[in-house]
Amino acid sequence: MIGSVAALENDRLLGQTAFDPQLRSAQSFAPAMAQQLAAVAWRPQDVELVAVTLGPGSFTGLRVGVTAAKTFAYATGAQVLGVNTLHVIAAQAPGDWQQIHVVLDAQRQQLFAAAYARQGERLDEVAATRIVDHGPWLDALVPGTTVTVAGLTRLRERLPADVMVVDERYWAPQAATVGCLAYLEYCSGKRDDLWKLVPRYYRKSAAEEKVEHPSGGQER
């Protein structure tokens, strides 16, 4: 999935810039940010709130995103707020669904999974983010369930016929949605501490597991 940055005034999108797919995220962030600021005629110090996804996601991508957000917020004096990646993906799903299951590839035939319910304009978490195996997650789906399977085209082929799947164009988390969710949470009183904000990986890294299991076994 390609990263992005966006500029919003309250919850109104002013513009969004995608990262250069030919570059690594760490190389793309600064040029994309500079381009987006220029597009809306903002100085860095005009930014009042920096929003970022905390996870789940790739270890490298999350580290880069959170570090960049904290650095920018510190340099400009802005507030910083983190949101859950699966919450972002759920918020992008169109339609009149009442509950949606969201999954993201966790590698090793596993998924990061969560579920959300719609309450008016609000999304409530009804199943917290967790790691599950493909099989049990598929077996637990009931007829009429709405799902979004971010980045998992092959898994889509294994879904029961009576499960409704969100169109693929809404799978990838967008910076505009991150900003909207963070703004709503900020208005409701949520605040994050710049110095304590860290990515949420939901699993140990391969290096950490190797230290714990030097014989080669991996924790599941």
Domain shared by 95 and 130, yes or no: yes
> What pLDDT is stored for residue 220 in this prediction?
40
Examine residue 218 and state whether it is found in any structural domain, yes or no: no
pLDDT at 2: 84
Residue 219 lies in a domain: no
- Of 169, 184, 199, the last residue of a domain is 169
pLDDT tens sequence across 5-35 = 999 999 999 999 999 888 887 888 899 999 9
* Predicted local confidence at residue 27, as pLDDT: 86
Are 81 and 183 within one domain? yes
The pLDDT, as a whole number, for residue 121 is 79
CA 105 to each of CA 28, 41, 102, 135, 155: distance values in angstroms, whole numbers, following the listed order: 23, 37, 10, 13, 10
Is residue 191 domain-shared with residue 158, that is, in the same domain? no
Residue 122 has what pLDDT?
A: 85
Is the residue at 95 inside a domain?
yes
Together in a domain, 201 and 163: no
Burial class (CB in 10 A: 0-12, 13-18, 19+), 117: middle
Cα–Cα distances in angstroms (integers) from residue 15 to residues 1, 18, 177, in the given order: 19, 10, 12
Query: Structure pTM?
Result: 0.90
Q: What is the CATH number of the domain that holds 193?
A: 3.30.420.40
Range of the domain at 52: 4-85+172-212
Residue 212: the pLDDT is 62
The answer on 47 and 91 residing in a single domain is: no
Query: Which tokens sit at 208?
Result: 């950490």
Shared domain for 17 and 50, answered yes or no, is yes
- Number of separate domains in the chain: 2
Extract the tokens encoding 106: 């966790």
Are residues 186 and 154 part of one domain? no
d(CA 82, CA 189): 13
Residue 220: inside a domain: no
Specify whether 106 is located in the same domain as 203. no
In the chain, where does DSSP find H-type helix? 25-39, 59-76, 85-92, 134-140, 153-156, 175-187, 206-212
Q: Does 135 map to a domain?
A: yes
Residue 33 lies in a domain: yes
Positions of the chain with pLDDT under 50: 218-220
User: Domain for residue 181, yes or no?
Assistant: yes
Q: Do 112 and 157 belong together in one domain?
A: yes
Looking at the structure, tell me whether residues 185 and 125 fall in a common domain.
Answer: no
Question: Are residues 62 and 115 part of one domain?
Answer: no
Q: For position 219, what pLDDT does the model report?
A: 43
Inside any domain, residue 217:
no
At 189, list the tokens: 């009183």
> Residues 188, 79: one domain?
yes
